[in-house]
Amino acid sequence: MKNITIVIPDRFADWEYSLIAPVLHSFTTNYRVRYAAADLNHKTSMGALRVIPDLNFADIPAENAALILIGGQDWRELNPADRATLAAHCERQKTDGNLLAAICDGAWFLAANGLLNDRRHTGNHLDAYRAEAAYHNAAQYQDSQREAVRDTNLITAGAMAAPAFSRAVLEALGDIPAEVLAYLPAA
């Protein structure tokens, strides 16, 4: 069974992963989806969905088929220790060649930690990335509010590209049946 870890901050954007988790839970038997957060206290989505995370950042498994960062309103509130722990997991995921995907402020988190400096990418607003000292790759930013951008094992998207992001993630896993993907919007 392959691990998929979906990282959610408090006040997470529940629509941004809404096609990924059901496909992996209902139409495949290859994956174990777990949710991670800075702590194990319940998180409330922007749509008032309450979730109790399975893992804290320190317990994210080293072996993940995908590490997915979902947008939300509290990414910029992470304390330095939690930020460093999660950034290290993201760096390892990227370096090991496993799928690293981020949407909305999840993509901002990657930019703020210098993890978009060598790949094509997108997100909500380039200016938010430029404001981060660790970000140095405006030349490869693609202004795409409705599409996900994939560069090798990295997928990024802005908040309004959730359907395209979901499809890109599921396609990148490489083993989701074509008949399941056919029901999803084109990437």
- The pLDDT assigned to 118 comes to 96
187 has pLDDT over 80: no
pLDDT per residue as tens digits for the range 135-185: 999 999 999 888 999 999 999 999 999 999 999 999 999 999 898 888 887
CB of 17 within 8 A of CB of 166? yes
- Of residues 37 and 18, more confidence is placed in 37
- The pLDDT assigned to 2 comes to 94
Side chain identity at 166, as an amino acid letter? S
Its sign, for the CA torsion 78, 80, 85, 89, is positive
Model confidence at 27, pLDDT cuts 50, 70, 90, reads confident
- The pLDDT assigned to 145 comes to 82
Beta bridge partners of 101: 68, 155
Residue range 38-47: average pLDDT?
Answer: 96
Distances (CA, A) of 138 to 120, 148, 180: 9, 17, 35
Number of CB atoms found within 10 A of residue 19's CB: 19
How long a stretch of residues is the chain? 187
The pTM of this model reads 0.96
pLDDT per residue as tens digits for the range 61-118: 999 999 999 999 899 999 999 999 999 999 999 999 999 999 999 999 999 999 999 9
Number of CB atoms found within 10 A of residue 39's CB: 11
Whose tokens are 């997100």? That residue is: 123
